[in-house]
Structure 1
């Protein structure tokens, strides 16, 4: 077990409300640790942690660190000048990175680590839900809630631990899974990676951490994943299972047939066809499900049973989540913030929508990502009938001179999209409601607080319907 395990009997989490941090705090609380933490604001996640016995303060201050804290758990988003981190260092309290804490929690379990530039949360969730449906009671740590706040993690009695493995800060180098999934390999997180070569090297290090005799499940269709597969081909103690529509795939996807918000998937496995249903739309999500299927099989779960159980997965919050319907307009929330994700979700929604119009309110995430990928984001928005682009959500970054959401708006307009800027966040719901007409689908898209606009759009739509 990781040495960090010895420091986790009374951990204090800085940023405990975050998707990754809150899951670890929940598992530790269930395991009997005395959990405390702080976050910048109240949230449903914070309330859920308090209900479990965690002592959570709102705001960051040195006095939030309890006298009995055995360690301070941080993510890469926590800056050195954070007052709680500074106080912990002065007091000699060990500082544990989130990835070290997760590695400690996985110790002694049969671990599946899900990596890739896109699709990690969905694939991890698919595995967690399907394995639980089969009564295997896995532990899991996911970067998003399945349904209710706090459902992003679970301490299970079973031997399997399914974890989302984040490449953004190279923290996935800390894990030593029995099975690793790599969904795709692309250049992202530009503040930490300067080139595709650095990305490949990072993923190669992750693959090198897979246990001897373990399995790598990797895409046969994605160019970056195929390149990575070629680079790690010399390792004799690693079983490589490729997944995709490519003819040379170990688990070959023969067809994905859409039926509204579900898909019928057929794969060729060991020479036999295996059909199953995925209760989310789009080819992108079908590929995630087949990767989950291959990983479960690698741990000995019967293929037919797991395929049927995958049908019990109905989505995760913020991954094409239906927020509601008003005035004949459906409002759906998407976490997509990279051009590949944006394209995949918009293609899935277009396929499910049929002849209905698709309207998007998009919030760019990070100045560095916008600087590097504005053209591709603009191109993705051409898949919408009309879109509104908000100001950049900075998250952990400082502004970059000359980098604004106007870069995306201009790129989209050059590509022929009907796109406009909206600098007033509070005005966006009314603007989308005014654009929409019965039968339309409205997509709130991005990794920031754009997710809060769905309810407001529905309120405006309902108000318009009442007035009409």
Structure 2
């Protein structure tokens, strides 16, 4: 992290190592749309890249020192957290003495001169950021935004708006959210995660306390007080004399959801603001956790001075974000959804939503544990949460940035699922999973793939097998 983070306009030409990721592609898009010359490279062609190419961004496949072109003094290189020190482009940037920036510093550079609303929390960041963005767009606020997934409303994960507001997903996994100094923030919840980075639950929670300390004293903090970890931030805000806005279903919430109805693919609720009924909101996404995400976004918009009617219209226009209960298709009465859930609380929330979608049908879920360290700590809880499904298929652990541990596999999760053995299967080879799901599914069922790794590839394969089986 540099001692000083320069505004994006002062970074010269900017090359992105790992431009295909959700985080770096969003930063690159904002910079390119602002007139900065941007290039990048990645070893995969991701869904975030087409909109960058439309802006004229040159994107190289793979990593090579030559991809830095003639970058020199005054130019910058933004590097994904997944890049290793021996990455040839990182090594070449060091050799040339170029300005090297982590993802967080790159995003912070684009925030200069804007009124930032940062959305943080263990779960629900992407959805809440997306909902708030849609609400602001419906109010003609034209915000700049950076989201960790493709926003269905725009088909992009970022845009450089003409208005003063900047809505940013603030990631705690690598400490990135401690680089930003937002005007306001939304915290969805605080439950221990990413202990490979933070070490202990206490350190993880302390990071959120530090994050609250970075909010502008003239701004505000919105937090869901239904969640104990987020509720604890009330005292942190009070110690700073920072305006605190509690949201939730509980009676202590300032902006409250009542009369919540989950039906089919919708979630409806009535909004009370300090006891005054503002109206009813009907979301086009299912799940009580999405009601709370929408409530946080709504509260932030209201405290920014925007009208309820416009905010409601934006929330009701939202149809989802990529990999968040995303419908992949339907064949022969079997609907296939994909979601990013990889923590026990997230699993439980998405299975509740899937149950609403299934109606009289069953819920057939495939789950891929993410990270050895997370599975070691929460594998049993993951399995218990999966028990809300009717049929469960568990894959092996997606390793990501960690080395394998023979003692920590998907079998740990599968063994904790509280269902009869014939309704649970541990299938370590991902190639075998689509057929296993098709064998278990029947017309009327919802098939849901869950996890933060490669499991997202399975949904289309299931649909293909279902089509082949048609008479």
Please indicate the TM-score interval, normalised by the length of the shorter structure. over 0.9
Match of 1:25 among 20, 24, 28: 28
| 1:241 aligned partner | 245
- How much does 1:76 deviate? 2.2
Residues 269-278 or 39-48, more deviating: 39-48
Q: Are 1:160 and 2:182 an aligned pair? A: no
Q: Distance in 1 between matches of 2:394 and 2:259?
A: 35
Partner of 1:264: 268
Aligned partners of 1:124 and 1:261: how far apart in 2? 20
The aligned residue for residue 196 of structure 2 is 191
Mapping of 1:350-369 within 5 angstroms? 350-369=355-374
- Find the counterpart in structure 2 of residue 67 from structure 1: 70
The equivalent of 1:125 in structure 2 is 130
Where does structure 1 differ by over 6 angstroms across 4 or more consecutive aligned residues?
Answer: 414-417
Q: 2:228 aligns with which of 212, 223, 227?
A: 223
TM-score (norm 2): 0.95
User: Closer, same or farther in 2 for the Cα pair 1:410/1:193, shift >3 Å?
Assistant: same
Q: CA offsets per residue over residues 59-92 of structure 1, 9 Å max, x none?
A: 1222222222611101322222222111111110
1:8 aligns with 2:11: yes
Shift of 1:401: 4.3
Measured in 2, the distance between the counterparts of 1:398 and 1:311 equals 43
Tell which deviates more after alignment, 107-116 or 140-149. Answer: 140-149
Counterparts of 2:419 and 2:331, CA distance in 1: 33
1:390-429 alignment, distance < 5 Å: 390-412=395-417, 418-429=423-434
Offset at residue 4 of structure 1 (A): 5.3
- Deviation of 1:346 after TM superposition, in Å, equals 0.4
Moved more, 104-113 or 370-379: 104-113
Q: Residue 34 of structure 1 aligns with which residue?
A: 37
Residue correspondences, number: 465
1:382, 1:418 within 8 Å by CA — same for their partners in 2?
no
Structure 2 CA distance for aligned equivalents of residues 298 and 47 of structure 1: 35
SS of the residue 2:281 aligns to: strand
Question: Aligned pair in 2 of structure 1 residues 148, 312: CA closer, same or farther (>3 Å)?
Answer: closer
Q: Confirm whether residue 311 of structure 1 aligns to residue 316 of structure 2.
A: yes
Question: Contact between 2:284 and 2:316, CA under 8 Å: does it hold in 1?
Answer: yes
Q: Is the 8 A contact 1:114 1:124 kept in 2?
A: yes
Higher alpha-carbon deviation: 247-256 or 175-184: 247-256
| Structure 2 partner of 1:179 | 184
Measured in 2, the distance between the counterparts of 1:285 and 1:356 equals: 22
Structure 2: stretches of 5+ with no match in the other structure: none
Partner of 2:207: 202
Return closer, same or farther for 1:232/1:133 CA change in 2, 3 Å cut-off.
closer
1:388 equivalent in structure 2: 393
Match in the other structure for 1:296: 301
Q: Mean alpha-carbon deviation: is it higher for 431-440 or for 392-401? A: 392-401
Q: 1:249 to 1:148 in 2, by over 3 A?
A: closer
| Structure 2 residue matching 1:142: 3-state secondary structure | strand
CA contact (8 A) 1:337 1:364 kept: yes
- 1:51 paired to 2:54: yes
Aligned position for 1:112:
117
Q: Secondary structure at the match of 1:376?
A: helix
Mapped partners of 1:415, 1:119: distance in 2: 31
SS at match of 2:70: coil
Structure 2 residue 255 is the aligned partner of structure 1 residue 254: no
Say which SS state the counterpart of residue 163 (structure 1) adopts.
Answer: strand
C-alpha deviation, 1:177, in angstroms:
1.2
RMSD in angstroms over aligned alpha carbons?
A: 1.8
Distance in 2 (alpha carbons) for counterparts of 1:86 and 1:279: 47
Q: Normalising by structure 1, what TM-score? A: 0.95
1:85 matched to 2:82? The reply is no
Q: 1:95 offset after TM fit, Å?
A: 0.5
Residue 232 of structure 1 aligns to a residue whose secondary structure is helix
Residue of structure 2 equivalent to 1:97 = 102
1:423 is paired with a residue whose SS is coil
**Structure 1 residue ranges without an equivalent (≥5):** none
Alpha-carbon separation, structure 2, partners of 1:368 and 1:39: 26
- Deviation, 1:148, is 8.7
